[in-house]
Structure 1
Amino acid sequence: MARTSPPTPADTDAEAGGDPVLGLVGFAEVLRSAGVPVTTDRVAAFLQALDTLDVTSRMQTYWAGRLTLCSDPDDIVRYDLAFEAWFEPAQGGRTRVRDDRPPPAPKLASLAPTREGEGEDDEQEAGPEIKAAATGTEVLRSRDLAELSGAEREHLRRLLALLRPEPPTRASRRKRRSRHGEADPDRTLRAALRNHGELSDIRRRDVSRRPRKVVLLIDVSGSMEPYADALLRFAHVFVRRSPRSVEAFTLGTRLTRITRELRQRDAERALTAAGKAIPDWSGGTRLGEVLAAFVNRWGQRGAARRAVVVVFSDGWERGETELLGTQVQRLSRLAHQLVWVNPHAGKDGYAPVQGGIVAALPYLDQLLAGHSLDTLEKLLKVVRDA
């Protein structure tokens, strides 16, 4: 009765006319040439697996190699191509394991377009061609947030939810027990009293650390609309990670505090609530007046004092740029560090020529790009190290 399963059996040593172990090791060398990081331990595991399985079964040989030799999902395509090229079908629907030397190293096809006249000689070189492409996640991490499709935005939302921001810390006035640091006379004396007045060792203490406040100011004007959704989700992750030390506001024609809305666990509910609370979504922007309202109402009262303040804006100002520069200067005096994130700063040929950026630049600690997931992760490191 004919088999209904797709794989066909492999030949034994006598049928192949050679040592099948040499052919299996040669297959591992082909995988290395194709770009699959096959280690000696993985080859040993592959041979051990075939020792317990039916080496004459093509399906079992395929899965034994795929489960032991592949370490990343990106390796599967290269593995399939190399498997079909190395294990040749023989008569009777069986498969012959080659025991000769592996073919020339496969050529990885570049995804970048080549110039006319270049690479013609290389294309005639022997060896199978295996196209190597970056994974969707790797490509998405460097894509501009404003250029994503609907499916890519949904994928980005899942990646943003996986971020784990680490808030910066600052020295506290309180001391903590430590093996190093200055002597702790109170604890040392109490320990001596419990030991009948004998001083056995000196207890020590060191400076304890507590989270430093972080303030996120997000521009939701019309020019920032392509980035607003991703930035609000970024803020949601930050607020959920440290709800007691992170504050979030939106900037437009008015100032809106959305910290309470972003403290909800579910991201969709949090953004829906934040959208209802923001009255000037995708409207104009008056950065100078709005920053003045923040400094007067929240900054001087403690929200921005010794905090890391991050402003997400492209710097387009409809009001007076002199007012914006004055308010940024006031904010920089209150804050421990003032970071401005401009989505356009990461693009080729960018120059800080917008009136708002020119007015604020002298008082900024850092001007960063914020147009992709990679740049937002770099921002997390900047905030953490502050």
Structure 2
Amino acid sequence: ARTVPPPRPRVVAREAAAAPRAPGEGEPSGPPAVTLASSAEVLRHRDVAGLDAAERAQLRRLLAEFALVGQTRRSARRRPARRGDVDPRRTVRELLRRGGEPARLRRHARVERPRRVVLLVDVSGSMAPYADALLRFAHAAVRGGRTEVFTIGTRLTRTTRELAHRDPDLAMAAVAAAVPDWRGGTRLGELLREFLNRWGQRGMARGAVVVLLSDGWERGDPELLGAQMRRLHALAHQVIWANPRKARPGYAPLAAGMAAALPSVDVFVEGHSLAALERLAAAVRGAAGAAPVRGAERA
């Protein structure tokens, strides 16, 4: 398993452009741009569970501008290119068109397509402080295309269609109406088995980047979760786990569910803040710089 180091801050403090003022006019009443930038930077690192109403509203605006794209892969399809393998069919057609006279070799290259991303979002009671932010993150991912989203708790619910609404608030309302098990228990092993049997094994998880957003609390059999994670790891291109509890001081993956799942996880990241979700997005993109998870985390 690998963990992703924090990226360099992307928010740049800038002074507001000075506007002409009438004689005797005082300073502008609004805060300078440097203050706004500093406020946004501080918010990026705040734990979502501790935000007040105004900060949550600002976080939602920032998440609405989020973008998530999966790693690229070379597909079987090819397209004309200046460099690449010789395209025999197009080359022969060009020779025939010229009556057998010498012609430039026609070439083609494989088309690169983003890998499918599958998000499994835990909406159980222990994840209630983070569910809204994580689902808005999922909404941004669906908006980017080739993303499937499921909620997990006591049931498995496919919510890709509900999250396809362009307006994030309408999308959240649609998800709230579609998901029957908000703030319930967690049956990760059983629901992961259901996902694999109904969708994953048939192709949805094959070659995909699968992301589980959960604290790993499991009310069912941890051995079942471990077995299903091994199945998932064999199908997927990469398995990523984002756990909001990982950011807490002294955290260790000792919960039975998390401990059983971690050996089948490629990248283990935090999921408690906007900055953590940015690191998660970088992991989904396959950004360079990920380091192996320490042995203590696997133990």
TM-score scaled by structure 1?
A: 0.66
The AA in structure 2 aligned to 1:138 is E
Residue 317 of structure 1 pairs with residue 218 of structure 2: yes
Give the CA deviation at 1:37.
8.8
Q: Which of 172, 179, 183 is 2:86 aligned to?
A: 183
Secondary structure of 2:33 counterpart: coil
Question: 1:89 maps to which residue?
Answer: none
Matched, 1:266 2:170: no
Distance 1:291 1:329 in 2: 11
Task: Give the match for residue 74 of structure 2.
Answer: 171
Structure 2 residue 48 is matched with structure 1 residue 74: no
Measured in 2, the distance between the counterparts of 1:37 and 1:235 equals 30
CA 1:37 to 1:258, structure 2 compared with 1: closer, same or farther past 3 Å? Answer: closer
Q: Does 1:231 align with 2:131?
A: no
Q: 1:140 aligns with which of 30, 43, 51?
A: 43
Q: CA deviation at 1:58?
A: 6.7
The letter of the residue matching 2:171 is: A
Say which of 177, 181, 203 aligns to 1:276.
177
Closer/same/farther in 2, CA of residues 154 and 317 from structure 1, 3 Å limit: same
Question: Structure 1: how far apart are the matches of 2:70 and 2:261?
Answer: 25
Partner of residue 193 from structure 2, selected from 273, 292, 297: 292
Question: What is aligned with 1:304?
Answer: 205
Q: Output the amino acid matched with 1:359.
A: A
RMSD: 2.5
Name 1:364's counterpart in structure 2: 265
Matches of 1:280 and 1:304, distance apart in 2: 24
| Inter-partner Cα distance in structure 2 for 1:231 and 1:320 | 25
Rounded Cα–Cα distance in structure 1 between residues aligned with 2:57 and 2:283:
26
Note if 1:374 corresponds to 2:275: yes
**1:341 and 1:374 mapped to 2: Cα distance?**
12
Moved more, 253-262 or 190-199: 190-199
Aligned residues: 270
In the alignment, structure 1 residue 208 sits paired with structure 2 residue 88: no
1:256 and 2:216 matched: no
Return 353-362 or 186-195, whichever deviates more.
186-195
User: Counterpart in 1 of 2:10?
Assistant: none
List runs of 5+ in structure 1 lacking aligned partners: 1-35, 39-45, 47-52, 67-71, 76-132
Distance 1:37 1:313, change over 3 A: closer
Q: Comparing 329-338 with 161-170, which one deviates more in the overlay?
A: 161-170
Alignment-mate amino acid for residue 253 of structure 2: P
Q: What is the alpha-carbon distance in structure 1 between the residues aligned to residue 14 and residue 222 of structure 2?
A: 56
Question: Equivalent residues in 2 for 1:103-182 (5 A)?
Answer: 135-182=38-85
Query: What is the CA deviation profile of residues 72-119 of structure 1, one whole-angstrom value per residue up to 9, with x for unaligned ones?
Result: 8218xxxxxxxxxxxxxxxxxxxxxxxxxxxxxxxxxxxxxxxxxxxx
The answer on whether the counterparts of 2:122 and 2:151 sit within 8 Å (CA) in structure 1 is yes
Residues 1:179 and 1:134: Cα distance change in structure 2 (over 3 Å): closer
Instruction: Give the secondary structure class of the aligned counterpart of 2:172.
Output: helix
For 1:73 and 1:220, locate their aligned partners in 2 and report how far apart those are by CA, in whole Å.
37
- Contact kept? 2:267, 2:283, Cα under 8 Å: no
Q: Deviations over 1:268-327 (max 9, x none)?
A: 111111111111101111111111111111111111111110000001111111111111
CA distance in 2, matches of 1:175, 1:37: 45
Residue 353 of structure 1 deviates from its aligned partner by 1.0
Per the TM alignment, residue 194 of structure 1 is displaced from its structure 2 partner at its CA by 2.4
1-structure distance, mates of 2:86, 2:131: 51
How far did residue 134 of structure 1 move? 6.5
- Three-state SS of the structure 2 residue aligned to 1:250 is strand
Q: 1:74 is paired with a residue of what secondary structure? A: helix
String of CA shifts for 1:163-195, please: whole Å, max 9, x gaps: 122232211111111111111111112222222
The C-alpha deviation readout for 1:209-265, integer Å capped at 9, x for no partner, is 1221110000000000000000001101111110xx211000101111101111111
User: Unpaired runs of 5+ in structure 2?
Assistant: 1-12, 288-299
Aligned identity (percent) is: 54
- TM-score, L = length of structure 2: 0.84
Higher RCO (Cα < 8 Å, 6 or more apart)? 2
SS of equivalent to 1:368: strand
Letter of the 1:336 counterpart: H
Q: Separation in 2 of the partners of 1:356 and 1:319?
A: 8
8 Å contact kept, 2:14–2:34: no
CA distance in 2, matches of 1:219, 1:283: 10
Match of 2:74, SS state, is strand
Q: Partner of 1:12 in structure 2?
A: none
* Structure 1 residue 351 corresponds to structure 2 residue 247: no
The aligned amino acid for 1:297 is R
CA gap of 1:268–1:365, structure 2 versus 1, over 3 A, is: same
Of 262-271 and 218-227, deviating more is 262-271
